[in-house]
Amino acid sequence: MSESRPGRPRAQRKVRPGASGREEILDAAAELFTTLGYAQTSTRAIAEAVGMRQSSLYHHFPTKDDILEALLADTVSGSLSFARHLAQGLPADDDGGPGPERAARLYALSLYDGTQLCSARWNLGVLYHLPEARSARFAAFLGLRRELREIYERLSPRREWPGSGDLVFRLVESLISLRADGLAREDSARETADAGLRLLGFGPEAERIRTLAAELPEPA
């Protein structure tokens, strides 16, 4: 790889997951941002953690903000693709459409999104609360997250009850805190998706909804 230091064998340098220099940078930055802090991490420290010259890092990401933007987008992009797919073909809002089918889509989204949040190598959602991440600089990420949130709301089978899908979105995102608290377990994402169904007022129907959800096409 062109960015490796001369004389430094690749086998030693390549300690991070990712097929490309770009992915190695993202992994190192994710670790440093979540464990040390965003403000406390310099691009120099990131380059050193990857074993890369700073000039090579700048080739991939001109600024530290560009790295943060890519990491933040990664936290929602997979779930958003799936959400867009699930939202396709839904009847118009006022119509509502059959409750259990809508609920199944919302359940599938909750489970997938929650699983992503729990299983990603670094708990990047903790960066959402950075003052930096709220600035206009990150409007693109904020727009993606807003779209994901809106699809939760559109998928809610409780059309008569505005904000019900948003409550499920909030419950799923609370997995970020659960993980930060060291309390996330193997089944936390599923438990949370199930709790989302109860939150929507489903009791015994939950079993049928889970069955319908399992029949939906898998995420791409």
**Under the rule (CB under 8 A), what is the footprint of a copy of itself?**
34-40, 126-132, 134, 163, 166-167, 170-171, 173-174, 176-178, 180, 183, 191-192, 195, 198-201, 203
CB of residue 127 vs a copy of itself: minimum separation in angstroms? 8
The smaller minimum CB distance to a copy of itself, of residues 1 and 39, is found at 39
Nearer to a copy of itself, 38 or 107 (CB): 38
To a copy of itself, the closest distance from the beta carbon of 205 in angstroms equals: 12
Beta carbon nearer to a copy of itself, 73 or 195: 195
Task: Determine the Cα–Cα distance for residues 66 and 83; give it in Å rounded to an integer.
Answer: 25
What is the Cα–Cα distance from 151 to 109, expressed in whole angstroms?
9
**Shortest distance, position 189 Cβ to a copy of itself, whole Å:** 13
Q: 52 or 151, CB closer to a copy of itself?
A: 151
Token pair for residue 193? 């998706």
Question: In angstroms, rounded to a whole number, what is the distance separating the alpha carbons of residues 209 and 203?
Answer: 10
Minimum distance, C-beta of residue 157 to a copy of itself, in the bound complex (Å): 14
**Separation of alpha carbons 187 and 129, rounded Å:** 25
Residue 146 half-sphere exposure, CB side, CA atoms within 13 Å?
Answer: 7
Q: Are 98 and 205 in contact (CB under 8 A)?
A: no
